[in-house]
A and B are shown apart, each in its own frame.
Chain A
Amino acid sequence: MRTITYEEIKNTVAELCIKSCNHLGEDVFQKLKSSVHTEKSPVGVDILKQLVKNALIAAADEIPICQDCGLAVVFAEVGQDVHIEGSFTDAVNDGVIQGYADGYLRKSTCTVLARENYGNNAPAILHTKLVPGENIKLTVAPKGGGAENMSALKMFPPAAGRTGIIDFVVETVCQAGPNPCPPIVLGIGLGGNFEMAPLLAKEALLLEIGEKNDDPTFAAMEEEILNRCNRLGIGPGGLGGSTTVLAVHIKDAPCHIASLPCAVNINCHAARHRTKVI
C-alpha cells in the first residue's frame, strides 16, 4: 500500500493541463512538418507551415497552441494498492482549476442552457479505471469544441459491416469539412454499446500518430479510411488539398449480437494530451 496525497494529484493535473495546452506532442508536430512535403496544394502547404510555426511560438512563449483550451478530459488509471488522501475527484478538479488559472488558459465550461461560464474550467471530464499496482497514471487531454461538435455516433445493425462503417466515417469527415480545423485526427470506437463506443473513440485519440492497430483487419480499415478521407479534397484549413486527415486510430470492444456501435471522435490538428505516472 502506497499513499499518494491530494496535493500531488492536484499539482500533477495542473502541470499536465499547462503542458498539454502549450506544447504540441512531438508526434503531431513531426507529422505536420512532414505533410508540408507531401501536400499537393500550395495554399495547403502554406497553412501547414503556419501550423508548424504556431506550435513553435506557443512552446517558446509558453502560450496555448489554440485559444480553445478545451474541456479538460482526464484519464486516470489508479493502482488498486494506492491509498489516496482526500477526495480523488476533488484533487483532479482542483488541479484543473489551478492549471487553467496559473497557465493563463481559456476557461470554457458553462451551464447548459443559461450558458453561464464557471470561470475556472472545472469540472474535468474524468474517466477512472482501477488497475493493478501502486501508481496513478494521469493523462490530460484538453478537447476543443470545434472538432468535438463535428463528431458522431451511429448504432448500426450488424449487416452494415466493414463497408457501412467506413462509409459512415468518411461521410462524417466530409460533412465536417473545414469546421474542425483540418488536418484532423480520427479516433474511432467500434463495438461496446451506446456509451462505450464514444469512450473508445476518445481513447483512440490518445494513441501515437500513425500507430497501427495490432489486428490486421482493423489496421487495413484505418488505412482505407485515411486514404479515402485524403482524397476528399478538404485539405489544411479546408482550403483544398490532400492533407485532411493525419491519422486514423480504431479501438474495438465486444458488443451485443444485435448491434454494431460506431463512434467517430474528430480531433483537430491541436491534438493535445500529456501523461504522467505518479
Chain B
Amino acid sequence: MSEVILTPPLKDADLKKLRIGDTVYITGTIYTARDAAHKRLCDLLAEGGELPFELKGQIIYYAGPAPAKPGAVIGSIGPTSSYRMDAYAPMLMAKAGLKGMIGKGKRNEAVKAAIAKHCAVYFGATGGAAALLSKRVKQAEVILYPELGPEAVRRLQVENFPVTVINDVYGGDLYEEALKAYQEI
C-alpha cells in the first residue's frame, strides 16, 4: 500500500501503478454527478451525441453537496452509494473515456470488468465524512443541469482530496480482501 498524488487527466501508466488499498490524494479538477445526471449523459451517448463537457481521462465524484453557506466554497460533500451508478458507468468508460470514479460501497461485476478493460479505477472516499471532505474543495461551479439541484453536475477544484483504491485495473476488490482479512467466522 502506498501513497500517491494524482492530477487528472489520468494516464494509463498512472492507473497501472495503482493497487487496491493505496491512498491517493487528488489535486486538480473533478466533476460531480449522481444517478439523474448519469442517466442524461448516457442517453446522449446512446443517441450518438457528444457530451457537453470533456470526460476523457477525468474523474467523476458521486456526490450531491449540501448548499454552500454564505462565504463558503461548498457545503458538506461526502460520497453517495456507487452501486446506483453501476448501470451507467461502463458506458461512460467505454464511450467517453472516463478514467476514475469516487464513491462509497460495492460495484457490480460489469463495472469491475469495465475498469479492467478500459484501464480505469474506482476510489472510495469516507462515507459520511462530508464536513471534513468539504475542506479539500477549493472551487466549485455548476456546469450542467442546474435544475437537478444537489444532483447538478459541478466542476470542483480539489486539493489533496483523500481517496482509497477499491477496484484496480487488475480486478482487485479491496472490500472483498478486507472482509477476508478481518472476518472471524
Contact = CB atoms under 8 A, between A and B. Distances in A.
Interface of A: 40-41, 43, 47, 50-51, 53-55, 57-58, 61-69, 104-108, 115, 117, 119, 145-146, 149, 177-179, 181, 228, 231-235, 237-242, 268-270
A27 B104 CA distance: 25
A238 B45 CA distance: 33
Contacts of B150: 67, 106-108, 117
Interface of B: 21, 35-36, 63-69, 72, 75-78, 80-81, 83, 104-106, 124, 126-132, 134-135, 148-151, 164, 174-175, 177-185
B105 A238 contact: yes
Contact of A146 (B66, B104, B175): B104
Closest 5 CB pairs of A and B: A240-B178, A233-B183, A233-B182, A181-B127, A179-B105
Nearest to B134: A63
Given A57-B135, A106-B64, A179-B106, A65 B128 contact: yes
Contacts of B124: 178, 237-239
Contacts of A107: 149-150
Contacts of B175: 177-178, 238-239
Given A64-B66, A66-B78, A177-B105, A239 B128 contact: no
Contacts of B72: 63
A270 B128 contact: yes
B75 A50 contact: no
Contacts of B105: 146, 177-179, 238
Nearest to A41: B182
Given A66-B78, A106-B67, A51 B106 contact: no
Contact of A51 (B129, B178, B179, B182): B129
Given A57-B132, A57-B135, A106-B64, A240 B182 contact: yes
A73 B127 CA distance: 21
A270 B127 CA distance: 10
B182 A63 contact: no
Nearest to A175: B106
A77 B96 CA distance: 53
B182 A67 contact: no
Chain A at the B interface: SS class: loop
Given A146-B80, A179-B106, A233 B180 contact: yes
Nearest to A144: B128
B76 A53 contact: no
B179 A65 contact: no
Contact of A58 (B76, B182, B183): B76
Contact of A63 (B126, B131, B181): B131
B131 A117 contact: no
Nearest to A239: B178
B181 A178 contact: no
Contacts of A54: 126, 128-132
Nearest to A58: B131
Contacts of B177: 240
